[in-house]
Amino acid sequence: MTDRDIVLDVENLRTEFRLRSGSVRAVDGVSFTVQAGECVGLVGESGCGKSTTGLSIMKLLPNVGHVVGGSIKLLGRDLGPLKEREMQHVRGNDVAMIFQDPMTSLNPTWTIGRQIAEAYQLHNHSTQRDALLRAREVLELVRLPRPAERLNAYPHQLSGGLRQRVMIAMALVNSPRLLIADEPTTALDVTIQAQILDLIDNLRRDFEMAVILITHDLGVIASRANRVMVMYAGKIAEGAGTDELFSSMRHPYTEALFRSIPRFDQDRAQALFSIPGVPPDLMTPPPGCRFAPRCRNAQPRCTQEEPLLAPDTGAGGSRPGAGTEHTETPTLPHAIRAGEHVFACFYPVDLSSADQPTLQEVEEAANPVVLGLVDADAGVEAAQPISVVERPPSRAEPVAKGEVLLSLDDVYKEFPVTAGAVLQRKLGTVKAVSGVSFDVRRGETFGLVGESGCGKTTIGWLVTALHRPTSGEILFSGEDIGQLRWRSLRRARRDLQLMFQDPYASLDPRMRVGPTIREPLNIQSVGSRTERRQRVAELLAEVGLSPKAAGLYPHEFSGGQRQRIGLARALALNPKLIVADEPVSALDVSIQAQILNLMRGLQTRHELTYIVISHDLAVVRYLADTIGVMYLGKLVEIGPAAEVYERPAHPYTRGLIDAVPIPDPVLEKQRETVPVRGELPSAMDPPSGCRFRTRCPLAQDICAEVEPPLRSFGRSHRAACHFPLETPEQTTDEALVSGEELRSSPE
């Protein structure tokens, strides 16, 4: 590699956030290079400094953020001394960034065409007509369907995947040499995620563009990045080529992240591995290795000396920097380059000795509860032990295993689409749920998977009686909840609770946690005031939070802790059924593992029944006993989880599974996929016959004319497809028809 190949050279970068309570060193001594046409992955938990590194390169830090040391050279030019006016010429031309949430990054009052054209006009001094032509050109480049029409569309009129394509088009409009993609697919379905990542990959190869891919998903990194840098507490913990890192990771933190990922072959009897404790407070980082308080390999030396980032010398080799005096900011002699495997650890891992805890061992280790509280603004407190309140008892009545608790029979739900503030003219209806039927048994977990817009969240609302079905029956404990009057409905909701996707948006920011959890008890008039307060304390201990959490506000907690609060509120009335709508979609893998283990443990102790709604098929595979796959309001496949994943009968199910990134570069390169392509049709005007036919690689004429019925493919395994991937079982009716045909045959 020559210096001319290097697009970005970052050396000893240090970035601080200066708050009233002190300075947070968010990035501390980070060095690396990125070549032309190379994709470098930045991986780590939230707060590790990976996004701050990207913002530091762009010089887009908030007012309290400052680059206090090091250098950032882009195409050989040092960006540090540049003023804001000079940086405005660099951003967009030489470097561009794709932000995590396109909806908050796009101007809701401007059309798509105007927003893309503006960036081109500012840098090229072109006419508006030429800028719009360029906007259409880049929309075609990112394969946005009907680009000419979409120029006049507004952001809210596009799906999440299409908005992300618009963000990529804005970044590419001036052909930058470096693209920084900050969590570009976090909130997207697996099918759309695969399309976006394929798009970035193709653009990188076609235009020799350097890419920094920031993510917490090691599966995404395995299939896309050439090199990986793992960050922890503002520092690089390990860096290597992707294949080498995954085959011979050396830092305990890298191993812990890898082991936290739920896999398709995960043993459901074993708990997911989760990293104990919380990240350090970067206002006052601990001496020595910052990961030492959470590391299973930690020795006294780790808390006294800080390991330097140095090449791997193999088992038993000496580590550079050992025995040296501790310095506040150790520096690298050079940036991490291609072909190097470096890590900062005195006692690296040996994967051959890694063991996996059972679910029972994890539950036992969680008693007593030891957990810190995270203040999103002030940083992270040290973990403090708390006294454990005795866990609340399970419901007294016995639960019959296998008994049907919930039954949906031919359920439809349509939403009218109107126009006009006064007359409200009806333009049509959104067919959100169309003829869905399934049963959920006591004590089981039923998983609903599918792309956004398939109707799975609407089913969650119907099941929890937040919406009434247009037609069909929803029987809960033998009672049709769709026909209940208000008083009876309020009583039934004691047994039906919902965990929302975004716990921060579902918690009142003006209410403290204690009153938030106590509110369902107040509404249902359960117990005295003293008993309600005691119940709140029990619930906080149940979900692993300190009693002092009751006096804090939602913004003073991390995302994972807010999800624990939402779970505590859902448990307040001892419900029989909890609908969990994307409960871990926005969480890091380590926090995600903690929440999933917690949900499994609570289900065992309280004999809970779950409906888990998610687009993360690995999460659903780990939690669910039965899985239902939905597409555009229809249930296209249903069956035991293992059977659906191992022998999917519907092409859509196969496509969803193939779109899930595997955290193994070798397997990613070897597997043959049948990706789901194209755009989800409108639920106002779904396709005739099979609704999946417009995106199905196996579709034929009959698919447009006849809607396929659900057919049997084994024990409780059914799928609706004319050309299934598996051979269906012959039903009694089909056997009778075949017999009649044989009898009527002249032969």
Q: Within a domain: residue 381?
A: no
In this prediction, residue 386 carries a pLDDT of 28
Same domain as 556, residue 463 = yes
When divided into structural domains, the chain yields a total of: 4
CA distance 155 to 169: 13
Here the CATH number for the domain that contains residue 274 is 3.40.50.300
CA distance 328 to 650: 58
Q: What is the mean pLDDT of residues 359-373?
A: 41
Same domain as 521, residue 511 = yes
CA distance 2 to 566: 53
Q: How confident is the model at residue 436 (pLDDT cuts 50, 70, 90)?
A: very high
Q: Which residues contact 596 (CB under 8 A, 6 or more apart)?
A: 262, 272, 584, 619, 622, 623
Q: Which token pair is 341?
A: 């495997």
CA distance 447 to 457: 12
Q: Within a domain: residue 384?
A: no
Same domain as 191, residue 139 = no
Strand partners, 15: 27, 67
State which of 629, 663, 686 marks the end of a domain.
629
Per DSSP (E only), the strands in 373-424 are 374-375, 379-380, 404-419
Same domain as 196, residue 144 = no
Same domain as 153, residue 180 = no
Q: Within a domain: residue 148?
A: yes
- Tens digits of residue pLDDT in 626-682: 999 999 999 999 999 999 999 999 999 999 988 888 888 877 777 766 668 777 888
Q: Which residue has better confidence, 741 or 663?
A: 663
Mean pLDDT of the chain: 83
State which of 159, 175, 191 marks the end of a domain.
175
Q: What is the mean pLDDT of residues 483-492?
A: 81
Strand partners, 227: 40, 241
Strand partners, 336: 32
Residue 539 has pLDDT above 80, yes or no: yes
Question: Within a 10 A sphere around the Cβ of 325, how many other Cβ atoms?
Answer: 6
CA distance 257 to 349: 13
Residue 719 has pLDDT above 60, yes or no: yes
Share of the chain above pLDDT 90, in %: 44
Same domain as 484, residue 339 = no
Q: How confident is the model at residue 355 (pLDDT cuts 50, 70, 90)?
A: low
Of 8-22, 53-67, 296-310, 335-349, which range is least confident?
Answer: 335-349
Residue 725 has pLDDT above 60, yes or no: yes
Same domain as 1, residue 44 = yes
pTM: 0.80
Bridge-based pairing of strands 374-375 and 379-380 is antiparallel
Q: What is the mean pLDDT of residues 509-522?
A: 92
Of 4-18, 346-360, 403-417, 652-666, which range is least confident?
Answer: 346-360
Q: Within a domain: residue 318?
A: yes
Q: Which residue has the tokens 């009057």?
A: 485
Same domain as 119, residue 77 = no
Strand partners, 214: 42, 182
Q: Within a domain: residue 342?
A: yes
- Tens digits of residue pLDDT in 174-205: 989 999 999 888 767 788 788 888 888 888 98
Q: Which residue has better confidence, 672 or 76?
A: 76
Q: How confident is the model at residue 231 (pLDDT cuts 50, 70, 90)?
A: very high
State which of 175, 198, 226 marks the end of a domain.
175
Q: Which residues contact 278 (CB under 8 A, 6 or more apart)?
A: 294, 371, 372, 374, 380, 381, 383
In this prediction, residue 187 carries a pLDDT of 66
CA distance 375 to 379: 5
Same domain as 80, residue 188 = yes
Quick one: CA dihedral 322, 328, 333, 336, positive or negative? positive
Residue 47 has pLDDT above 90, yes or no: no
Q: What is the mean pLDDT of residues 208-215?
A: 93
CA distance 652 to 495: 34
In this prediction, residue 578 carries a pLDDT of 94
Q: How confident is the model at residue 356 (pLDDT cuts 50, 70, 90)?
A: very low
Of 154-158, 326-330, 416-420, 559-563, which range is least confident?
Answer: 326-330
In this prediction, residue 46 carries a pLDDT of 83
Same domain as 169, residue 210 = no
Q: What is the mean pLDDT of residues 43-69?
A: 92
Residue 262 has pLDDT above 60, yes or no: yes
In this prediction, residue 351 carries a pLDDT of 56
- Tens digits of residue pLDDT in 162-178: 888 898 899 889 989 99
Q: Which residue has the tokens 């680009």?
A: 147
Bridge-based pairing of strands 22-35 and 210-215 is unpaired
Strand partners, 65: 17
CA distance 121 to 117: 6
Q: How confident is the model at residue 585 (pLDDT cuts 50, 70, 90)?
A: confident
- Tens digits of residue pLDDT in 703-715: 999 999 999 998 8
- Tens digits of residue pLDDT in 316-334: 444 544 444 433 444 444 4
Same domain as 720, residue 605 = no
Question: Within a 10 A sphere around the Cβ of 546, how many other Cβ atoms?
Answer: 21
- Give me the domain span that covers residue 76: 1-94+176-365
Using an 8 Å Cβ cutoff, are 633 and 454 in contact?
yes
Q: How confident is the model at residue 371 (pLDDT cuts 50, 70, 90)?
A: very low
CA distance 124 to 147: 22
Question: Within a 10 A sphere around the Cβ of 610, how many other Cβ atoms?
Answer: 24
Residue 252 has pLDDT above 60, yes or no: yes
In this prediction, residue 400 carries a pLDDT of 41
Same domain as 119, residue 50 = no
In this prediction, residue 660 carries a pLDDT of 83
Using an 8 Å Cβ cutoff, are 662 and 222 in contact?
yes
Q: Which residue has better confidence, 595 or 747?
A: 595
CA distance 65 to 58: 12
In this prediction, residue 335 carries a pLDDT of 55
Residue 687 has pLDDT above 70, yes or no: yes
Using an 8 Å Cβ cutoff, are 501 and 187 in contact?
no
Sheet holding 77-78, edge to edge: 22-35, 6-19, 65-74, 77-78
Q: Within a domain: residue 396?
A: no
Residue 10 has pLDDT above 90, yes or no: yes
Q: Within a domain: residue 370?
A: no
Residue 290 has pLDDT above 90, yes or no: yes
Q: Within a domain: residue 387?
A: no
Overall size of the chain counted in residues: 747
Between the alpha carbon of residue 570 and those of residues 76, 418, 468, 576, 596, the distances in Å are 55, 34, 21, 11, 15
Q: Which token pair is 232?
A: 């922890």
Peptide bond into 368 cis (omega under 30): yes
CA distance 362 to 599: 12
Q: Side chain identity at 651, as an amino acid letter?
A: P
